[in-house]
Amino acid sequence: MTSDAIVVGAGVIGLTSAIVLAESGRRVAVWSRDPIGDTTSAVAGGLWWPYRVEPEEKVGAWSVRTLGVLAELAARPGETGVRMVDGTLAGTGLGDLGPWAAEVPGLRPARREELPEGWGHGLRARVPVVDMPTYLGYLRRRLEAAGGTVEQRAVATLAEAAREAPLIVNCTGLGARDLVPDAEVRPVQGQLVLVENPGVDEWFVAADPGSADTLYVLPQPYGVILGGTAREDVWDLAPDPATAEAIVARCARVHPPLADARVIGHRVGLRPARSRVRLEADTAAGGVGFPWLLHNYGHGGAGITVAWGCAEEAAELVSSC
């Protein structure tokens, strides 16, 4: 065997998991059905915030650990794609958050004058906003610097990887629905609109976890990402023009100049939702035994938020065997 571990999946969860293993001294190969730039992670908005992910009792620690790593990477935004940006979460109070909120530096209630018309309360925070294409490129370079490799290679079963390495880490996201198989994994469709920046320098989010329509404005170096949707069990990857128009209209209520901003792109991604993240060792899948099979999938809309915490816990599980 030429690898100590094969990580299946090259989104943010897979690449981060591979880096932690490779930097601990293991020979790691990442297999991905799609190019890194075509993964769900590549079209994500890129805001650090625990969103649509369970279990709550573990997500907090994963998120805080990832926040610490991203804050360090923000010192080199041109290289990593990570910046620390001020912003507002409208319609949410400190009491709506878990204990993890106490670990977010500077998180505080928003003052009345800091909220757009229509919102009576909210929070202010300075958190990472990640340019995902740049960040994924950074993760690949970091993995390769640690001796890891990335190969575009689709697998029909996890047993294919098990024939080539003693440790398999399953980071296939929505693909786990068929590959494991795990019927608990299901899509939550997110549609975004990318526009030229008319002067937005802060992020803004008003997202009801129970609603199929959300509102977020995320400034990136290449424009402003406007969102969005959270439509459960929708598999369609084609942008809907009427939905895009509604997204721009919602965001323009917060930043009126967005109504006339030139649209430069549309994005649709399928969040890999599950009742709770599956981060655990397994001994078999599909009736085929594995020396070591580790699952790390089902992160919903919070892959970027929990990636480093989950990757480090996965590595600890491997080290404890």
Q: Quote the CA–CA distance of 123 and 253 in Å, as a whole number.
A: 18
* Closest to 217 in 3D by CA, of 151, 143, 276, 129: 129
CB 237 within 8 A of CB 191: no
Q: Quote the CA–CA distance of 139 and 16 in Å, as a whole number.
A: 7
The yes-or-no verdict on residue 52 having pLDDT over 90 is: no
* pTM (global) more than 0.75: yes
Q: Quote the CA–CA distance of 46 and 316 in Å, as a whole number.
A: 26
Annotated binding site for FAD: 40-41, 155, 172, 300-305
Q: For residue range 58-93, what is the model confidence (pLDDT) as tens digits?
A: 999 999 999 999 999 999 999 999 999 999 999 999
Q: Quote the CA–CA distance of 100 and 106 in Å, as a whole number.
A: 13
Q: Which residue's structure tokens are 């023009």? A: 241
Question: Domains of the chain, with CATH numbers?
Answer: 5-84+125-185+274-319 (3.40.50.720), 186-273 (3.30.9.10)
What's the rounded mean pLDDT across residues 123-138? 98
What's the rounded mean pLDDT across residues 157-163? 91
Q: For residue range 280-308, what is the model confidence (pLDDT) as tens digits?
A: 998 655 444 556 899 999 999 999 999 99
Please spell the DSSP secondary structure of 194-235, one letter per residue: EE--SS--SEEEE--TT-SEEEEEEEETTEEEEEEE-EET--
Buried (b) or exposed (e) across 14-31, using 16+ Cβ within 10 A? bbbbbbbbbbeebbbbbb
What's the rounded mean pLDDT across residues 121-125? 97
Annotated binding site for D-dopa: 216, 271, 301
Annotated binding site: 40-41, 155, 172, 216, 271, 300-305
